[in-house]
Structure 1
């Protein structure tokens, strides 16, 4: 893999790019230098949004604010991890009552995205949006709702098969007593909460902090989180040996997320796993809008939604699925449609080598022979209509495996 292709690969996996011109700007640093740069890039700070329950994509709303940050070339791996944790510790505005609660959770994810997993788990377990989403709000020790406890173990910390129904009951009782009022204020009521020792995975727990600590101290937690992050960043499941190695890194770091992410990115398997998974709709749309020269977060959100993924609206507590289901043939038409009247068409049409310009805008530096030949043939066939040729070429690029895969 040449340097430009390697840098583009790093940016595809660790940011929402590469964006036009970004790969060339960073190429002198090589893949290792770019990994260091995205790891050390300062977290982007969103301005406070306007909360309008009647308008999901208002110009000053939460969706608009987040999509702007995703599309910012200054974003590093921190921004990508905010997206990862949103799909891991899920909550949806479909059930959570207000945008204000959703935004508080978003800010919480931003605070801990590359921080300490235990601290993140403690904070989000008693977060207002999460309490509403998992029916933890209003749960009482005398008859606790078990949903919150079960998902905390199965989907957030341990994975399936690593706890019993007795553990669920113990954790649910210890998690009781929390509520969210009509103003979005989170509070703990000692009268409805737990005050006695419950059993969880062989330990005594009384409250939410005890529960999270009991889960995070289990070796299964380090393995589970390491495996999830590896699959997201590398694009394939780690071997048992690699899972164990990464879990050891994570445990030695006292569950600090950054050392785990760095260990994943620095391993040879990361650079070798080129286009090993689909670009998820949020990733593809953010990059595609930049390639097309379109700056319209509302349209971006609509396109993501049409392709099956909407920020702040995961489909269920398990988040969005992974795998090839994102590559259904019908999506190709929606992807290609972005090229129609795209601002970038003029630049491509006026270039001495339209194919090279289109590929570079899309961060494609290692096209397969089939894609390269198809692009050259298309431009030749439409050589008398440069604008039409450029639009068709852009559509081809946006639907090519080299762009649809991460």
Structure 2
């Protein structure tokens, strides 16, 4: 695979940015990726969703006073809004000229998990997503403080139930175990004491606030320090710990480049991250710049987003339906805003189980035949919301050199799609597109599409 194509996929979701990288160079491409602007506008689909705590209370009052049919309709409307949010985000991922901010937002989305299924308030989930987007390239400690004090997070990890004399340790535990230090770098006593410091931190208007009646003001020992600490001070203490940089650098390497990064790389980049005072942009810049020059293609299994958006891009699918893509992602185990648990998507081999691989092959068949992703799937509540006939045909068109011979066309597609092939696979390709292939004959377009369909079903296409 062309190295610029490889990095277009790694820093985005398709080969769309390949020509830009070739034209302006990788260094300038990174610079422009980091300088993308944050859009703070609230999308139209959020217009009718409650946005303040007061609006939420009024909505709940209305629900209690409504009849079963009205309740059903109101809940259905909020479920539709949640689905609209998935489609809105997929559109951003797919259309941004420099998609690294969205790729990094998705990374943080799977690090600081907070699901719609549990939080149930669309605006809080949207706020959570916007915090990640705004701070995608900012400071790790600052981002941690903002996310832990978001309404979505205190609801998701039950800190609304955490109060003096009735502690709930969920947020305290995940702050240490999953968000910052990782297992082995704290004690159970730190978790219990951390819950005291977080006691009373509950829902506020724009972000979480301490409720005076529920706060625990007793001193406690936290990671070796004694005091009456609250959330910001606790996170400051966490970021003084010697092993703070390594959990996140390991996860970044896994998200972008290696399903199984070497420990020396984790430590090397982690030490640099600490030296940069936990600024994310310098860390990413160093990782991408240094790993770009290495021969490391095929070291990561594509997640369902990378797989589906690359297919859509290669086939030049016009106006792909984000809701259908979201439905496919859910079937693949990558349901946006609804990870299976607080640990998030596992990634790696979990993206290539026999069932997932079969689904990918079926989708390749559908798209190569110009059909929508959900064609043939049983109707259910999710795709009833899509409001677009899943059986309608898509306008797809594969780009290839019309004057080339069979081996040249095969080489062109291999360069765009596959990181490596062997002689046996090459022979299989030449069986599909034979030596006497003539692009001027009727059906030549279909023959190249058949070759493409075969290529994207190979194990090599699942890797980047």
Over 3 Å counting, the alpha-carbon distance change for 1:358 and 1:98 in structure 2 is farther
What SS does structure 1 have at the residue aligned with 2:221?
strand
Match of 2:364 in 1: 336
Match of 1:318 in 2: 343
CA distance in 2, matches of 1:146, 1:293: 49
C-alpha RMSD of the superposition: 2.9
CA distance in 1, matches of 2:370, 2:267: 50
1:88–1:156: 8 Å Cα contact kept in structure 2? yes
Match of 2:22 in 1: 27
Match of 2:444 in 1: 386
CA distance in 1, matches of 2:400, 2:2: 24
Give the one of 279, 289, 309 matched to 1:266: 289
Match of 1:118 in 2: 141
Give the one of 187, 190, 193 matched to 1:167: 190
Q: Is 1:233 matched up with 2:233? A: no
2:316–2:398: 8 Å Cα contact kept in structure 1? no
Over 3 Å counting, the alpha-carbon distance change for 1:362 and 1:111 in structure 2 is farther
TM-score (norm 1): 0.88
Q: Is 1:395 matched up with 2:453? A: yes
Q: Using the TM superposition, give the Cα deviation of residue 398 of structure 1 relative to its aligned residue in structure 2, in angstroms.
A: 2.6
Superposed, 1:11-90 pairs within 5 Å as 11-19=8-16, 22-38=17-33, 40-43=34-37, 45=39, 47-49=41-43, 50-51=45-46, 52-55=77-80, 61-90=84-113
Structure 1 alignment gaps of length 5 or more? none
1:397–1:403: 8 Å Cα contact kept in structure 2? yes
Q: Using the TM superposition, give the Cα deviation of residue 125 of structure 1 relative to its aligned residue in structure 2, in angstroms.
A: 0.7
CA distance in 1, matches of 2:447, 2:191: 60
CA distance in 1, matches of 2:95, 2:10: 15
CA distance in 2, matches of 1:374, 1:44: 47
Q: Using the TM superposition, give the Cα deviation of residue 313 of structure 1 relative to its aligned residue in structure 2, in angstroms.
A: 1.0
Match of 2:329 in 1: 304
Q: Using the TM superposition, give the Cα deviation of residue 44 of structure 1 relative to its aligned residue in structure 2, in angstroms.
A: 5.3
Structure 2 alignment gaps of length 5 or more? 47-76, 372-393
What SS does structure 2 have at the residue aligned with 1:54?
helix
Tell me the alpha carbon deviations over residues 3-56 of structure 1, each in whole angstroms, 9 at most, x when there is no partner: x8111111111111222xx42343134444444443x34145375231341315
Q: Using the TM superposition, give the Cα deviation of residue 144 of structure 1 relative to its aligned residue in structure 2, in angstroms.
A: 1.3
Give the one of 111, 132, 135 matched to 1:109: 132
Match of 2:223 in 1: 201
Q: Using the TM superposition, give the Cα deviation of residue 213 of structure 1 relative to its aligned residue in structure 2, in angstroms.
A: 1.2
Give the one of 146, 149, 164 matched to 2:169: 146
CA distance in 1, matches of 2:99, 2:397: 30
1:128–1:180: 8 Å Cα contact kept in structure 2? yes
**Which deviates more from structure 2 when the two are superposed, residues 319-328 or residues 102-111?**
319-328
CA distance in 1, matches of 2:307, 2:415: 11
Q: Using the TM superposition, give the Cα deviation of residue 123 of structure 1 relative to its aligned residue in structure 2, in angstroms.
A: 0.6
Match of 1:191 in 2: 213
Tell me the alpha carbon deviations over residues 99-134 of structure 1, each in whole angstroms, 9 at most, x when there is no partner: 111000000001111100110000111111111111
Tell me the alpha carbon deviations over residues 119-159 of structure 1, each in whole angstroms, 9 at most, x when there is no partner: 00001111111111111123102221001111111111001
Question: How many matched pairs?
Answer: 397
Tell me the alpha carbon deviations over residues 47-101 of structure 1, each in whole angstroms, 9 at most, x when there is no partner: 523134131575xx31122111110241242221101000111111111121111
Q: Please say which structure displays the higher CA radius of gyration.
A: 2
Tell me the alpha carbon deviations over residues 237-265 of structure 1, each in whole angstroms, 9 at most, x when there is no partner: 44343333222211121111111111211
Give the one of 3, 8, 19 matched to 1:6: 3
2:159–2:201: 8 Å Cα contact kept in structure 1? yes
TM-score (norm 2): 0.78
CA distance in 2, matches of 1:46, 1:361: 40
1:236–1:276: 8 Å Cα contact kept in structure 2? yes
Q: Is 1:283 matched up with 2:312? A: no
CA distance in 2, matches of 1:157, 1:296: 36
